[in-house]
A and B are shown apart, each in its own frame.
Chain A
């Protein structure tokens, strides 16, 4: 696994800039096959990011230690903070799973935002058009409707991609904007609460249309579903023939074609699953936390999900960690505003942490190597 690839041929310094260091007895060399470092690499990266941000915070005239303490405390330090972090992590995790499955076969779905909104609209449609369902039926029907609407929205990306060679990056992005406008249309137009002084939002759901929450917190049972989704996702990918086909398709599309795997069929199915998961998240948002469909239902979950998926390297289990981590970062970001740090600063913090995470991850693949005779 960890074999020396450069053996046998004169090893070349990887880029011109480093040639200057030739006089040194060591050389930095990149080894793509080196297993990425242990658990301490991300911790070290986050440490580096915090050090960089400490500089910015100090520039803002505040004590970084106090700010970080508050951030940590706000996101994880109390049952309130932690439950809120988890509330935030649920849609992120589901959307993250959704985009990850598409990325597995190199479908660059950035449309989770639109799919989430479609799901929210779909779930809300049940409450609008079927106001007299028996109570216990609502949640399952809304879940189905949300996932179906998300899947349909995913199909709108998949069909042009599969049959018209339309790049999914552009179509999924455009569909985000379309979904957003559709949402505006419904909440400002036909679905707005007749008793709400014509303000943009549907009537508040009845209790049977709301997901149960855990204790007195806002943490709803969507969490369980999200975790089940992770397990199912992991099982399907690693243990089934379908998962194997996906992996083959992602790794080597032409080989997959030779072995009779129909790429188009997979694109359609994968985008339906991808959209369905995001749509399901949309249902959880309206039914679990917002309790109505309203203007601005998603503060960009679909986009953040892309980060969730990638820092977990598309691994479903790792996505639990990354979604809670990013969720905490967002929650903590609002927390530190209460002690005077501007909201812009928490965005910078998030950006820096990402830089260091991915930078540190890759840096760990470099290693010092004694300069050999033939290399000179």
Chain B
């Protein structure tokens, strides 16, 4: 039981940076634009956080700076993919290359500087007495709750508001939404940039809470995992919550099994999250084999107004 509680706590903490990035990816893809630049945007978010925090020491200012720096890269992606109708895959990869390079360049001067940051923890004394749940939830940091709230809010936005329905229309059938008078480009710009901001937030979380000093390439592929988890979550923010924790939990579980000393090489234990993701997806796919896919139908396809019928 004790181990289980610790495992869930570890799952939440290791899933949260992923969760921010996955949520960002979901709203971008819901509008029909794949953003493969996640890795680069997260890195920019992290390095800007580090620089601004060293300068100001203010957590809120840092957060705003990180999010807006990420929005800058998001804008480039949006401009290339929406206005210029470039290939979204190449544009995203270019964002990753550029963001990785730029973050390394900016971070040269501050590498190795320790950040004296303490992210406020939300203490919930009334919850502490509740068995099991109390130990997990009564002492989490602020941004974990922010990420959970964001997931719920995004869910409500996407499925319960008319704006969210428009968003779905833009992602599924831009020509129809155009006829309906919805600005396809406007929606796409807004959501790509907002999505990038969330990816920047993921970078912010990673450096502020996870490992408070800048190291080149510190995301170490988490951006790519996030892109994969978008699909795992079937473009649903609430599923994203589960998927991120599932993935993070298996990651943490691998290390714990190592400690049991049962002779499985650590490499195979580290495969756990990847293998299970594929297996779970196969199971879900088998169960849903008669249902239509959840993917936004026009994902990755630039919209040409002239093509409307």
Contact = CB atoms under 8 A, between A and B. Distances in A.
Query: Are A and B subunits of one complex?
Result: yes
Interface string A295-306: 000000001001
A250 to B, nearest CB: 13
Closest 6 CB pairs of A and B: A351-B98, A347-B101, A344-B104, A354-B94, A348-B101, A351-B97
B76 A167 contact: no
Contacts of B285: 160, 164-166
28 contacts: A16-B186, A30-B85, A32-B85, A164-B281, A164-B283, A165-B288, A169-B227, A169-B228, A169-B231, A170-B228, A170-B232, A170-B278, A306-B90, A307-B90, A342-B108, A344-B216, A345-B101, A345-B105, A348-B98, A348-B102, A351-B98, A354-B93, A354-B94, A357-B90, A358-B84, A358-B90, A359-B80, A361-B86
Interface residues of A, number: 54
Contact of A306 (B93, B229, B282, B283): B93
A345 B85 CA distance: 27
Interface stretch (B124-132, B161-169, B207-215, B264-272): B264-272
A358 B80 contact: yes
Contacts of B103: 344
Contact of B99 (A6, A177, A178, A351): A351
Contacts of A307: 90, 93-94
Contacts of A16: 183, 185-186
Interface of A: 5-6, 12, 14-17, 30-32, 56, 160, 164-167, 169-171, 173-175, 177-178, 181-182, 184-185, 188-189, 303, 306-307, 310-311, 342-352, 354-355, 357-359, 361-363
Contacts of A170: 228-229, 231-232, 277-278, 281
Nearest to A13: B305
Q: In which size bucket is the chain B interface?
A: 35 or more
Contact of B270 (A6, A181, A349, A355): A181
B89 interface: yes
Contact of B84 (A175, A184, A343, A363): A363
Nearest to B291: A165
A111 B97 CA distance: 18
A241 to B, nearest CB: 28
A59 to B, nearest CB: 9
